[in-house]
Amino acid sequence: IVVDPFDYVVFGGTGDLARRKLLPALYHRDLDGQIPDEARIIGVSRKPQSDKAYRELVKEALEAHLKPEEMDKKVLQRFLARCFFVGCDATSEAGWPDLAATLEAGKDRIRAFYLATSPDLFGPICDNIGKHNLITEQTRVVVEKPLGKDLASAKATNDEVGRIFKEEQIYRIDHYLGKETVQNLMALRFANALFEPLWDNAYIDHVQITVAESLGVEGRGDYYDTSGALRDMVQNHILQLLCLVAMEAPSSMDADAVRDEKLKVLKSLKPITDGDVNTVTVRGQYKSGVNEQGVVPGYLDEVSNKSSKTETFVAIKAEVGNWRWAGVPFYLRTGKRLATRVSEIVVAFKEIPHSIFGEAVPANELVIRLQPDEGVKLWLMIKDPGPGGLRLKRVALDMTFANAFKVRNPDAYERLLLDVVRGNATLFMRRDEVEQAWTWIDPILQAWKESDKAPKPYMSGSWGPDEARDLIRADVPTREWHE
Ligand code: BG6
């Protein structure tokens, strides 16, 4: 369905995120015929350049990040003709009257400001947007992570944006929420009667959420070294996944109905304090090694601070303190340079109460694979076929998206960018959610800082430090990470 006419103003329009994600995503939506004729994409950055030069940059970005078979000459021409450029300085007057003049031509359209810049520019950009009267009835602003490095800075950033925009105009991106398989979590849980009666501490033994990457910090060492895995992945993506697994059914898909339920989960997270930080969290940092990327250097070889104590791996035993989840550990794990790239959620059910088979019977597991090889597997016990005795075998009911649907898996940004135009905030984070997540994260950061311990080393290509294995075995010695 074609969306309403819009002007997308991308601050940081020549930057990495725009080139790698935003422009290819909008191109794909154009390819699918969802972008109306009048729509414009207005790249903004400090150094002035012509529309022609910007279109050249856009073309190169598309060629670099799309498959050759996705490049359609006619659509490409159409897409490039939508792209304009305005040189504008976030922190001064320079260029703002030009931007105002460019936007004047589209004053009745939906207007989206995408702040794909460093967060310290959010405040100055918003102030200038306000000062130059660029906010119409139909205006939205999209902000990218990192939204703060702790609760205080997140509040400060939210205040800066909130001074100019109303909460319902603010779209905070967590790109994990735009992933097909993450959206599918809602379908799986709330469109099937099958799981919900079993979805609690009576039947679920524990939950594992893994987001493993094989890449290292790539060119982002400077940013990453001030962040670390807890801030970069857990505060946002992993806690959002946990919310989707643990939340109560919202009354509808309405943005606030969904976000109210997620907020309740975040508020129910048991605080991790100084006393238990060493038993329920593990920090790691990768050494050189070999993984699916080949022979790779260690973290300290890749960042400028050679004595950095920043973690590139974290494992946490989290608990959701409410009636549904009391006593069910949520094991969270993420890291860079691990053995392979895999994101998945494992819901491990309890064992049957009594075996009549003369042998222990492994428990059922629901494995939701978010990426790659997206799919859902439900591990069941069946009779091993054959004339012999009744022997059991573990098999999976296996649904792989690629086999079940012969369609391209759209990138998360495709959905999110157009949801902004549609005014649908369900897949975006509300202010209180972001701040509540920091409220849980802050004491962990604080306790780590006070203990001043170096992260545990792990070999690139492994599954993280041994201590992560000890963490999951601590409660039940036979419990293992799903690998
Ligand atoms: C980003 C993090 O938010 O998510 C990166 O800043 C990380 O460090 C990335 O690599 C992972 O996203 P995806 O979509 O590749 O799983």
Per residue in 274-289, pLDDT tens?
889 999 999 999 999 9
d(CA 480, CA 483): 9
pLDDT, position 427: 97
Regarding the beta carbon of 232 and ligand 1, being less than 6 Å apart is answered yes
131 three-state secondary structure: helix
> Which atom number of ligand 1 is nearest to the Cα of residue 236?
3
pLDDT, position 187: 96
State mean pLDDT over 321-336.
98
Annotated binding site for substrate: 175, 179, 213, 232, 336
Residue-wise over 106-116: b if at least 16 C-beta within 10 A, else e? beebbbbbbbb
Q: Are 87 and 48 in contact (CB under 8 A)?
A: yes
- Give the ipTM: 0.98
> Which atom number of ligand 1 is nearest to the Cα of residue 179?
14
Regarding the beta carbon of 213 and ligand 1, being less than 6 Å apart is answered yes
Give me the active site residues, please: 237
Residue 352 CA, ligand 1 centroid: distance in Å: 38
pLDDT at 60 over 90: yes
Q: Are 23 and 126 in contact (CB under 8 A)?
A: no
d(CA 46, CA 58): 17
Per residue in 303-314, pLDDT tens?
999 999 999 999
Per residue in 364-384, pLDDT tens?
999 999 999 899 999 999 999
Lowest mean pLDDT among 222-226, 230-234, 429-433: 222-226
pLDDT, position 143: 97
pLDDT, position 218: 85
Regarding the beta carbon of 180 and ligand 1, being less than 6 Å apart is answered no
